[in-house]
Amino acid sequence: MNGSKEGEYVTWWPNGKKQLHYFFKDGEYEGCCREWNEQGTLIKVANYKQGHEEGWQQLWYDNGKIRANYIIKNGRRFGLLGTKNCTNVSDSVFRK
């Protein structure tokens, strides 16, 4: 390991809510990594393989609206990185 990060890494906000939940292998991000804001709302789900994004990547604003939703496959991104074309389907379908 030579001092590199290995295994599960969890940090907490001062209010006791979880802030980060990451995994490392050989000092690189590995697997599903998650981040929450100070209120406890999930704001990031990122998947990594050998330190590189791989698979679904999702980010949200603090209010829960989608910020980015894309997939990385073989080093190429498919999907929407910004909010210009991101539409929250539940907002339009389930609006009263």
Residue 42 to residue 62: CA distance in whole angstroms = 8
Average pLDDT of every residue of the chain = 86
Whether 74 is in a domain gets the answer yes
Residue 14 scores a pLDDT above 90:
yes
Structural domain including 16 reads 7-93
The answer to whether 55 and 72 have CB atoms below 8 angstroms apart is yes
Residue 29 near residue 22 (C-beta atoms within 8 A): yes
Does a structural domain hold residue 29? yes
* Helix H or strand E segment including 90: helix 89-93
Flag whether 2 is in a domain: no
In a domain, 52, yes or no: yes
Is residue 87 assigned to a domain? yes
pTM of the model: 0.76
Domains contained in the chain, number: 1
Domain for residue 43, yes or no? yes
